[in-house]
Amino acid sequence: MMIVEHYLNESRRVDSPNADARPLSEVSLVVLHSISLPPGQFGGDEVEALFTNRLDWDAHPFFQSIRGLRVSAHLLIRRDGSCVQFVPFDRRAWHAGRSRWQGRQTLNDFSIGIELEGDARPFTHAQYHCLVRVLKALEASYPGINACERVTHEQVAPLRKTDPGPSFDHRYLARLMAD
């Protein structure tokens, strides 16, 4: 897996309008998230529709609670380990919202957001293996990123977010990263 002109070469590209120019700051953090739309359902196109402002707000009762939301992430890693890239890594995706990490705020300015398709159920081995390949490609392409600068949404926004949650196996990821 390689990054070419700020795109992951093994991802399917779906451009999101929910991004803008980064301020002059080095990419130095990866924020891991999880998402399923509708909650608990996998494999549909609802996440892509949300990140591209095409979600049919009337298609499911839950969508009313997020109506009008304008968000994105750089990548989505599906349950089967495939990747969808919405925003090139040199642009600011709108994923972390109000957040803080090690005294820094406005994390979207210097972070890369990776969504894992999931909920409270365990993530798949395919997702972890893909995530490792993505993280290693990011570390090789962006010198400011290293294994110590990988956090979860719940860590940077603890009072408002709980993802990726207790089913995310940090130890398993660390073991895979060490191989």
Q: How far apart are CA 179 and CA 9, in angstroms?
A: 22
DSSP the chain: --EETTEETTEEE---SSEEEPPS----EEEEEEE-SSTT--SSSHHHHHHTT---TTSSGGGGGGTT-----SEEE-TTS-EEE-S-TTEEES-S-S-EETTEE-GGGTEEEEEEE-SSSPPPHHHHHHHHHHHHHHHHH-TT--TTSEEEHHHHSTTT---S-TTS-HHHHHHHHH-
Q: Which of 115, 117, 149, 154 is catalytic?
A: 115
- Amino acid present at 110: F
Active site (annotated) includes residue 5: no
Give the residue numbers marked as catalytic.
Answer: 115
